[in-house]
Structure 1
Amino acid sequence: MTLQELVHQAASRYLDKIAVCFDECNNQPPVYYTYKTVVNAASELSNFLLLHCDFQGIREIGLYCHPGINLPSWILGILQVPAAYAPIDPDSPPALSIHFMKKCNLKYILVEKQQINKFRSSYETLLNYDTFTVEHNDLVLFRLHWKNVEVSLMLNNSIRRETYEKEKMTKSVNSENSSEEKSEEHMDVRLKHCLAYVLHTSGTTGIPKMVRVPHACIVPNIQHFR
């Protein structure tokens, strides 16, 4: 079972019950969405992505936004494509996010409209994206290009010594190769129904590593979903 299937299972039982509550801590009442609202919004986004995206190979879609009441619907909409959700934190250092996006080889990224100016100013000199932009409600879809894009990840100088970094780089490469070999033995992450989301480690002690999480590693640990 996938995460999206689990949500739809709950929605079929509790369609008009509250599914999401978000409090902005601004002295205003929290905002609530029912399962019906969440599922309908997610389905609209899924249809939008299927219409405008050309999916080949590993399906991963970036999402550049801050937390909000719409975030669960956006994540669900990506999962239903099906595709893996790759969060891009607007407050994260651009160099780190670029490193992550290139490692994912992201072809598409959804950007929250409220963050458009920040996205453009942060990445216009670091990232190639064409004029293909399509709007969907509070999101804008960008198509990315990685040809001739050089990524230089600037790590904290206080934790970087030349010999230490060489050692970390060697361990990082070996670790990634080992992880890829193990994952190939047990699951094919290229399968469109396999991955739920893709994250990266903090990078505070070396080069950030990719963390690809399949649905199978999440769903069995969920005992109750209401």
Structure 2
Amino acid sequence: MNYLLPHSIDQAAGNFPDKDAFRCGNNHISYRELSAKTNQLAHLLVSLGVRKGDRVGIYLRRSLETAVAVYGIMKAGAAYVPLDPDAPAARTRFLLEDCSIEHLISHRSQLRGLDDILKEDVKLKTIIGISEEQVIKTLPWEVLEQFPAGNGPALRILEQDLAYVMYTSGSTGAPKGIMHTHYSGLSYARLSAQLYHLSPEDRIGNHAALHFDISTMGYFSGPLVGATTVIIPEAHTKMPASLAQLMEKEKLTVWYSVPLALVQLLDQGLLDQRDLRAIKWVLFGGEPFSSRHLKALMELWPQAIFSNVYGPAEVNQCTYYHMTTPPDINTAIPIGQVWDNTEIMIVDKTDAMVPEGEQGELLVRSATMMKGYWKQPQLTEKSLYVSRDEWGFEKVFYRTGDLVQLNPKGELMFLGRKDRQIKTRGYRVELDEVEAALLRHEGVTEAAVFSVSNDVEGLLIEATVILKDQCTLSEKALQSFVGLHLPLYAMPHKINFVSSLPHTSTGKIDRVKLQEEGAKIKENK
């Protein structure tokens, strides 16, 4: 019976032993090899004292080792915690501390980042994947060969046990960890495999880094059906020409990324030079796709079905909108209809259901929903809506914070947020966290952060700050300082220095006015 995420690779190893499970660049690993290596890693972790429910960090760039790490950690009964190698060392240290991570899986290519992290005291006991001496114990990847490959540790792991913790931006200025179980992760894998008709013949292009939630389709849904997941190497994500070449070479049948990755390929005129007729599905999510670019792309790939994927990381996915004909460039693209095993509510500020066709906040109840936020029970409780019927049966919904409404066709339309969270380049960013980072600088007295729309890149982050008297801080210096605390995707691309900020009648900073002024400046350029 398949009820844990690692069951998928072991089952595929029996059905398709020599088939590529994952590919990355010129490297590949079969399902037989993946099953064996993850068993070995699980035994190693258990020998180091890892127990059921512990958290193990993954500090790796896109590589085959990420797949070994993900499934090896789960086979040891632990939960994997993906860490962004490009994040500031201070942020990574916070995650290590917050999640009580004692063991980290990495690679010698990450030595510079590891050195920065270890400059200050952390509670790590072991780093697996490097042989170079550090202030803590290190073990090379070759050590796995000393452990049994035939079966994983004999542990009683349940479907409701923790499988992974994925951190996202937090409104308090600190990241928050989203807890997912084997049940929620496997439910997502099954629903997406069913919706997109995935089969062993598919080759899934996994463009997202492991710490980005849309990576779970390639890592979970692919092995579930015995497909091959092609992890896009880091270098290819930064070089559109080589990315288009890779897509052709790998004969990808399914593509899933944020719209920006496809827009960059389109704008550079690279796609019509490649034979990409193998692509059957183009999935995009994380942020809106401009109708103009989407129309052009659909005309290039008429054989493919395009699907707008919607769902916060807390529920993995909950709606979809399939498209077979190019959209009207003046029409917003729906987030569509609710997928299986999922129920929604659209409510007003009092949690009352809104009349059909009126806007309200989207609440989601699904098998794919998170367990809660790591070590934040109050935030978890605040994020949930619980209803009970007369017999005491409880229904638990996640409050997305997204405003939606049904159009005349009964399709969900995304209208915006009810709070200060945005999506930029597919990543969730709490603007309050960016403000908090700016205010850490001793030369900054006030800061306001807002988003400005860009037709190609979507929403961009801008900031307006007031400096202390006599402070001569430059934009470059302040951005460098903020970069010590925020990941690259959360960095303001522009910082404006002013002597005063507009305020509302209640005395609060008028961020709406700043946003409008920023938009006008862009229009006039």
TM, length-normalised to structure 2 = 0.30
Match of 1:72 in 2: 67
Cα distance between partner residues in 2 of 1:220 and 1:69 = 24
Cα distance between partner residues in 2 of 1:88 and 1:119 = 12
1:113–1:83 distance in 2 versus 1, CA, 3 Å: same
Match of 1:115 in 2: 110
Match of 1:4 in 2: 6
1:203–1:95 distance in 2 versus 1, CA, 3 Å: farther
Identity %: 22
Task: Determine if the alignment matches structure 1 residue 35 to structure 2 residue 31.
Answer: yes
2:180 corresponds to which of 181, 194, 213 = 213
Task: Determine if the alignment matches structure 1 residue 22 to structure 2 residue 17.
Answer: no
Measured after TM superposition, the shift of residue 217 of structure 1 is 0.8
Describe the superposition over 1:75-121 as per-residue Cα deviations: whole angstroms up to 9, x where unpaired.
Answer: 11111101100112221112222222222111222232221342022
- Letter of the structure 2 residue corresponding to residue 220 of structure 1: S
Task: Determine if the alignment matches structure 1 residue 86 to structure 2 residue 81.
Answer: yes
Cα distance between partner residues in 1 of 2:22 and 2:118 = 32
Matched ranges for 1:72-151 at <5 A: 72-129=67-124, 131-137=135-141
Measured after TM superposition, the shift of residue 207 of structure 1 is 2.5
Cα distance between partner residues in 2 of 1:138 and 1:220 = 34
- Letter of the structure 1 residue corresponding to residue 24 of structure 2: F
Cα distance between partner residues in 1 of 2:88 and 2:143 = 22
Cα distance between partner residues in 1 of 2:123 and 2:5 = 32
Task: Determine if the alignment matches structure 1 residue 47 to structure 2 residue 36.
Answer: no
Cα distance between partner residues in 1 of 2:61 and 2:187 = 28
1:78–1:95 distance in 2 versus 1, CA, 3 Å: same
- Letter of the structure 2 residue corresponding to residue 135 of structure 1: L
Counterpart secondary structure, 2:95: helix
- Runs of 4+ in structure 1 off by over 4 angstroms are 128-132
Structure with more of its chain in helix, by fraction: 1
Cα distance between partner residues in 2 of 1:13 and 1:41 = 17
RMSD of aligned C-alpha atoms?
A: 2.5
CA contact (8 A) 1:48 1:136 kept: no
Match of 2:493 in 1: none
Measured after TM superposition, the shift of residue 218 of structure 1 is 1.6
CA contact (8 A) 1:113 1:139 kept: no
CA contact (8 A) 2:23 2:64 kept: yes
Counterpart secondary structure, 1:3: coil
Counterpart secondary structure, 1:99: helix
- Largest Rg, 1 or 2: 2
How many residues matched? 169
Cα distance between partner residues in 2 of 1:39 and 1:80 = 10
Match of 1:201 in 2: 168
Measured after TM superposition, the shift of residue 138 of structure 1 is 6.3
**Larger relative contact order, structure 1 or 2 (CA cutoff 8 Å, min sep 6):** 1
Cα distance between partner residues in 1 of 2:104 and 2:138 = 11
- Letter of the structure 2 residue corresponding to residue 127 of structure 1: V
Task: Determine if the alignment matches structure 1 residue 62 to structure 2 residue 50.
Answer: no
Cα distance between partner residues in 2 of 1:96 and 1:109 = 15
CA contact (8 A) 2:168 2:177 kept: yes
Measured after TM superposition, the shift of residue 71 of structure 1 is 1.4
CA contact (8 A) 1:63 1:88 kept: yes
